Amino acid sequence: MHTTPFTHKLFPLVSLGLLFTFGCAKEDLTPTENLSATSSQQAKQDGPTVTLDSKQYIIIASGDQLPGDITAKTASANGTITSLLGEAGIAVATSDDPGFAAKAAKIAGVRSVVRDFTYQAFDPQQRSADVAANNVNPPSTGDSNPFFPLQWGHTAIQVPQAWNTGAQGEGVVVADLDSGFDLTHPDLQPNIVGSISFVPGEAAQFRGAGSSHGTHTAGTIAAADNNIGVVGVAPKAKLLLVKVLRDSGSGSFSWMMNGIIYAVQNNAKVINLSLGAAIPRNGKFLNDNGTPNDPSDDFIEHDAKGTQELLVAISKVTGYAAKQGVTVIASAGNDANNGNKDQSLVHIPADATGVISISSTGPMGWALNPLTTNLDRFASYSNYGTSAVDFAAPGGDFAYPGNELVVFRGVRQYVWALDMVLSTAKNGGYTWMAGTSMAAPHATGVAALVIGKNGGQMDPARVKAVLRASADDLGKPGRDPYYGHGRINALRAVSSQAL
């Protein structure tokens, strides 16, 4: 992920940082090292970042629910249930017995038992260079939030016009599943209704390096319209912040599943998943040999069934969410992968049942020509494919070939940085980032506007139908590999006759 942070309270200094992530991770793009990269250069990096956890297992029911005696039966198979997601037919267990999976799979009512996976979503280590801002002033516009004029994504999908219809997400709880969050950020705090961490040993509050991925996605969804900084797409929606990734960017799929169930049970109507991983269908994984902190004994193994069953497990959880009336939206991924030609990967959770997958758009040189620059240019790093993408949304890009600084709407910054998405960051600050992780929250915010306009409750299939009927059909007519059913349009969505 590219990230360019600055702090609202320290205008004389604009801190510029580059955040690198892993190629088979789902959410934050892997930029090229060359900041003058052309748009044809793709954000891609080789090497698996998904590791089998040899001591943690996911138990999958044959039907909708696990047997009532699963805890006792698991103990008899030398395992211990650590979380029971009975509503979705999933349980998570630990065991030191190498034969546990085979034993537990024989329990009546169990479809399969697979090992949990740990994936690296993003690398928080930054390369930074401070740039003097020459005491520039915030933009002066009709909007009282000083950085709103830098939020080109809102312009692209007609968010202000949607607000003018009265749709601002009121009455809708949005769960954002991510890394840690700045829970005291002045742009987020007014809308936070709860927070929780499913990461052992880490609180929901972000305390890591980098700018805080979770804080950024949360701000795009629902930063308050409070005369401070930025404004979220749905500024009157409420945020349920669920930590399922370490601050360092890694996490397990069991944490994600726990987070989804928690969100459903705590009144969320939309879930944002700016996270995940691309899993090889052939099941080629790194096994940590039970020592995750000691890479010296790691080895490669193949478990194609494990890939298939992991998707089944995630789909049970997302399917349960859909049955409970919760819309689930996920980032499509940042590997510039053509799903029409390369079907060697399973993208989780984007490929799971009931999940709306979002690709990314972003301008190139917007600050130089704000009135004529194409805001709907397909992002250089975004995954694509007819079956891989449902909709496109603003996620930003860094493909502008120059490296010059400009003073644009009161802020001195690099041209390519202004093409990215500006949102909230740690320590009450603000940061530019780019990725499908930034696109998904735009779509999630629009879904919140639609649901709020409908009275706060709406079947996910109907939400998707409204988004589809109202999307701007870009690219080839109909569903195409890049924009899916089209780039979402907030105004048209809240004005749709399908509501």
Radius of gyration of the chain (CA): 22
Q: What is the pLDDT of residue 293?
A: 80
Residues carrying an active site annotation: 178, 213, 437
The answer to whether residue 41 is domain-embedded is: no
Rounded Cα distance between 436 and 275, Å, is: 9
Residue 460: the pLDDT is: 99
Q: Are 439 and 478 contained in the same domain? A: yes
**Inside any domain, residue 418:** yes
* 78 and 127 inside one domain: no
Of 119, 144, 170, the residue at which a domain comes to its end is 119
Question: Which residues of the chain register pLDDT less than 50?
Answer: 5-48, 125-142
The three-state (H, E, C) secondary structure of 421-487, written as one string: EEEECHHHCEEEEECHHHHHHHHHHHHHHHHHHCCCCCCHHHHHHHHHHHCECCCCCCCECCCECCE
Identify whether 377 is part of a domain.
yes
Say which CATH number the domain at 24 has.
3.40.50.200
What is the Cα–Cα distance from 487 to 392, expressed in whole angstroms? 4
HSE, side-chain direction, 13 A CA sphere, residue 395: 37
* SS3 label, residue 263: helix
65 located within any domain? yes
Distance CA 167, CA 237 (A): 10
Q: What is the pLDDT of residue 370?
A: 96
Q: Supply the pLDDT for residue 301.
A: 82
In this structure, are 263 and 352 located in the same domain? yes
Q: Are residues 319 and 228 in the same domain?
A: yes
Per-residue pLDDT, 493? 98
Of 324, 314, 436, the residue nearest 383 (C-alpha): 436
Tell whether 43 is covered by a domain.
no
Asked if the structure places residue 392 within a domain, the reply is: yes
Integer Cα distance of 7 and 2 in angstroms: 17
**Looking at residue 396, what DSSP letter applies?**
-
pLDDT number for residue 364: 98
DSSP label of 25: B
Residue that finishes a domain, picked among 67, 101, 119: 119
pLDDT at residue 11 in the model: 24
Question: Does 149 sit behind a cis peptide bond, omega within 30 degrees of 0 on the bond before it?
Answer: no
Q: Give the residue from 85, 119, 153 where a domain finishes.
A: 119
Number of separate domains in the chain: 2
Do 127 and 115 belong together in one domain? no
* Domain CATH number, residue 106: 3.30.70.80
The contacts of residue 119 (CB under 8 Å, 6+ apart) are 25, 26, 49, 50, 51, 250, 251, 252, 253, 276, 277
Do 209 and 223 reside in the same domain of the chain? yes
Together in a domain, 230 and 90 = no
Which region, left, alpha or beta, applies to residue 354 given φ > 0 means left and ψ of -120 to 50 means alpha?
left
Q: Tell whether 75 and 147 lie within a shared domain.
A: no
Q: Do 101 and 135 sit in the same domain of this protein? A: no
Range of the structural domain that residue 109 is part of: 52-119
One domain, residues 65 and 173: no
478 and 462 inside one domain: yes
Q: How far apart are CA 38 and CA 35, in angstroms?
A: 9
* 45 assigned to some structural domain: no
Q: Is residue 499 part of a domain?
A: no
> Looking at the structure, do residues 150 and 207 belong to the same domain, yes or no?
yes
pLDDT recorded at residue 13: 22
Backbone angles phi, psi at 22, to 5 degrees: -95, 145
Three-class SS of residue 99? coil
Confidence (pTM)? 0.89
Element containing residue 214 per DSSP (H, E):
helix 213-222
